[in-house]
Amino acid sequence: MGPTGHSTGHYWDLLMINGKKLVLSTQKSIHKPIEVEIDGKTYQNRPLSRTTFDEVKKYEKAALKGDIEALYKQVQVLFGVPIEVLNKVDVRDINTLITYTMEQILTASAKTDKEKAEKNESKPGPDKSALSPVSSQAR
């Protein structure tokens, strides 16, 4: 909120209730869901909680060691897509889906980082190494 108590249109203003506090819920994120479409069916991300990412990281470690099945498991954890559907998807597309998802997550975080950087006149970025999909060099 601006000094007069009116909205400045700033991202944080949209999250504030009566300008006093940020209201969060364990049931629903303040962020829009990430959506992917496979064969005409749209899937939304499951809650992107620490618990979810602990499971994703477990599969990521296996994927980095060459376990292709672990890539598919990451998508199952993130989106709940049935394995019967995923089994028909090209592994390169699975890797692209994981990359897309992480970019969407980091973009939301980067907006916040950018706003902070503009205030501090420095430009730090998010750590993109976290939860990165398997690179083509690792295969």
What is the residue extent of each domain of the chain?
1-29, 31-132
Please write the tens of the pLDDT for every residue from 64-107: 999 999 999 999 999 999 999 999 999 999 999 999 999 998 88
Tell me what pLDDT residue 76 has: 96
Q: What is residue 111's predicted lDDT score, i.e. its pLDDT?
A: 64
* 56: nearest Cα among 102, 93, 104, 125: 102
- Rounded mean pLDDT of the chain? 78
Work out the pLDDT band at 117, boundaries 50, 70, 90.
Answer: low
Q: Considering only CA atoms, which of 122, 52, 119, 102 is closest in space to residue 80?
A: 52
The reported pLDDT for the residue numbered 38 is 97
Angle at 74 between CA 72 and CA 80, to 5 degrees: 85
Dihedral-angle region of residue 40 (phi above 0 means left; psi in -120 to 50 means alpha; beta otherwise): left
Residues 24-48: what's their mean pLDDT?
Answer: 91
